[in-house]
Amino acid sequence: MSGVHATARIVARADGRGGTSLPVLESDGPLALRRTRASSGGEARVVLVGAMSGPLGGDRFAVETVVDSGARLRVGSAAATIALPGQTKDEARYDVRIDVADSGELHWLPEPLISARGSDLHVTTRADLAPGARLVLREEQVLGRVGEEPGRFTSRLVVRVGGRAVLDQELACGPGAPGGWDGPAVLGGNRAVGQLVLVRPEFGERPVSARILGEGAALMPLAGPAALVTAVAPDGLRLRRLLDEALDAVNWAD
């Protein structure tokens, strides 16, 4: 097995003065973490900057994030991640591990992941939250660059609250994926797909109501204090618009 192996780590901790410190901010290889200006509400902000192309075939990337009690963290990325074919036929893997403690809050808002022709990428995101934690997690996948067929892409998203799974879903698209991924029951010919996971303690007492949120997007409650928005669109720009509008709709209703 060849390829680049890299793991970046973030730890966010309440600083005792109403803000959030970052005692651990470890970059590794192509995964460069940069702290940006904190918000006025005491939220720390980190941007993931890709220092090289990839992931390529055979690469193994991972980002581990821990948010301690009382800390608030927002993580984004400087640009889209593009999965590219490598010199080997091995699949590339990108693993995201998130842990949020009671009264901790994380906004995980990376830019889209683009599956280029000939690539083979498996993404796994696992989020473990305490019962009093808060999370806004956005995932966006674009199948192929403009005018290009997609590569093989598999995504698994697992969210647990208090040790209980509230979401465990997997999506496989592109060459070699199970039949029907491009049919009306899944993407319906669209080339961008995304999801927004919202975890808030108040959802345990007042679950959101399932409803359609514009063409291509739907909101549904999950077991426990969580909700899920799923969306499909012809391109990444319209997908982002759908997810932003969905988040605004949930915040307004709340």
Query: pLDDT of 82-116, one tens digit each?
Result: 888 877 778 899 999 999 999 999 999 999 999 99
Contact 73, 10 (CB under 8 A): yes
Q: Which of 6-15, 41-50, 79-88 has the lowest mean pLDDT?
A: 79-88
pLDDT of residue 253: 63
* Domain ranges (residues) in the chain: 5-253
pTM given for the model:
0.92
Is beta strand 5-14 parallel, antiparallel or unpaired with respect to 60-67?
A: parallel
Contacts 24+ apart (CB under 8 A), 32-38: 32/8, 33/8
Q: How far apart are CA 39 and CA 26, in angstroms?
A: 21
**Cα–Cα distance for residue pair 119/92, rounded to 1 Å:** 8
CB 228 within 8 A of CB 222: yes
- Using only C-alpha atoms, the chain has a radius of gyration, in whole angstroms, of 18
- The pLDDT tens digits of the residues spanning 203-227 come to 988 999 999 987 889 999 998 899 9
Q: What is the Cα–Cα distance from 47 to 59, expressed in whole angstroms?
A: 21
